[in-house]
Structure 1
């Protein structure tokens, strides 16, 4: 049974990942969910997760949270959002702190959910989107590079535009950084879970889109896990 540490589980893709990981009875994994806001603890505990309170932008509370949950096989992070009072973003600094502690603890695999528009996929997004989100995408790119350079076995998944609707089952991964489109959060979660035990996903950077919701109808190669 894998021990998984999930950061960013209060809502969105992270919450969908928690639901999928714990959907079996009994669960097939042990899930520890890092929360900064205790408001969401009851819902996650009801799913079967162990909740640890901590802030990824505060190394002391983050290290305490990770130290109190035993062995960790895999870290998954979907963290992002508004900057702290000091101007730090979880997209970059929070994820970098998490990566450094994963190295320290000998974590076997690290899965980072980033965004299309980060790194070499910047070519996939429209100029007006880049103008609006460029600063955030640069922060995400820094976290990606930190992970690649960390020595950890990693998978980086860059979703397209996100929608909170039921999974379509049509989501795919591709190594083509020029592809962009829409994807539902529940489908991103399924792709993350599919990568957990796939050696083919190791040390790969993917774009994640729904094959039927591309911004432009182009041919591309789907990655087979």
Structure 2
């Protein structure tokens, strides 16, 4: 069973990815910042390492000793002012994966990234457009790396059990909401599907309430 390392696993989609991967029997390592609550990850038997994704050396250390077949998932993001993790944190993960000899990486960003920017509403641009632009930089950095990558751009994220209706939309305008558990399932599905390498998908679920 291929191992997995997750960045951004203390909550949200990253935590859901870790939970679902462990339910599949996969070994999971997660890097958390000092002070982040690790209880949920410890409860599922994840290997916890501490460090800040903005510290390149810490990210290198988190990947130390991993088998070359280990998959990488990063859901890092802030949506807050003055915290450059959306770009620089993800860039550190991408660079560290290359240095560690890992090959497969899924980056979770947001609707509005890269070529989907024109589809982002003016209200959304004003609210969190700066973070989306930083995520776009991370996408560009990943696309020019040597990694076998997939980019996942969820719509508005909601909590709750997976609904099973998430759509992978490519090269088309997409709007809507999706549950974090469904995004995690899409992430793990992409890792298992070589046909998704080099592609970017918007993820929404028409059945997910706002």
Q: Which residue of structure 1 aligns with residue 188 of structure 2? A: 193
Q: Which runs of 5+ in 1 are unaligned?
A: 216-225
Q: Is the 8 A contact 1:83 1:90 kept in 2?
A: no
Q: Which residue of structure 2 aligns with residue 220 of structure 1? A: none
C-alpha separation in 2, matches of 1:68 and 1:52? 12
Cα distance change of structure 1 residues 70 and 45 upon mapping to structure 2, 3 Å threshold: farther
Kindly state the Cα deviation for residue 212 of structure 1 after the two structures are TM-superposed.
3.0
Cα distance change of structure 1 residues 7 and 65 upon mapping to structure 2, 3 Å threshold: same
Q: Is the 8 A contact 1:35 1:53 kept in 2?
A: yes
Q: Is the 8 A contact 1:57 1:88 kept in 2?
A: no
Q: Which residue of structure 1 aligns with residue 70 of structure 2? A: 73
Q: Which residue of structure 2 aligns with residue 221 of structure 1? A: none
Q: Point out the structure with max Rg over C-alpha.
A: 1
Q: Is the 8 A contact 1:3 1:71 kept in 2?
A: no
Q: Is the 8 A contact 2:53 2:93 kept in 1?
A: yes
Pairing of 1:164-179 with structure 2 (within 5 A): 164-179=159-174
Partner SS for 2:3: strand
C-alpha RMSD over aligned residues: 1.9
Kindly state the Cα deviation for residue 38 of structure 1 after the two structures are TM-superposed.
4.5
C-alpha separation in 1, matches of 2:92 and 2:36? 23
Q: Which residue of structure 2 aligns with residue 12 of structure 1? A: 12
Partner SS for 2:23: coil
Q: Is the 8 A contact 1:108 1:152 kept in 2?
A: yes
C-alpha separation in 1, matches of 2:83 and 2:174? 30
Are 2:175 and 1:180 equivalent residues in the alignment?
yes
Q: Which residue of structure 1 aligns with residue 206 of structure 2? A: 211
Deviations 1:147-178 (A, max 9, x none): 00012110000000111122111101010341
Partner SS for 1:22: helix
Q: Which residue of structure 2 aligns with residue 21 of structure 1? A: 21
Are 2:85 and 1:97 equivalent residues in the alignment?
no
Partner SS for 2:77: coil
Kindly state the Cα deviation for residue 54 of structure 1 after the two structures are TM-superposed.
1.0
C-alpha separation in 1, matches of 2:197 and 2:58? 29
Q: Which runs of 5+ in 2 are unaligned?
A: none
Runs of 4+ in 1 over 4 A off after TM superposition: 68-72
Q: Which residue of structure 1 aligns with residue 114 of structure 2? A: 119
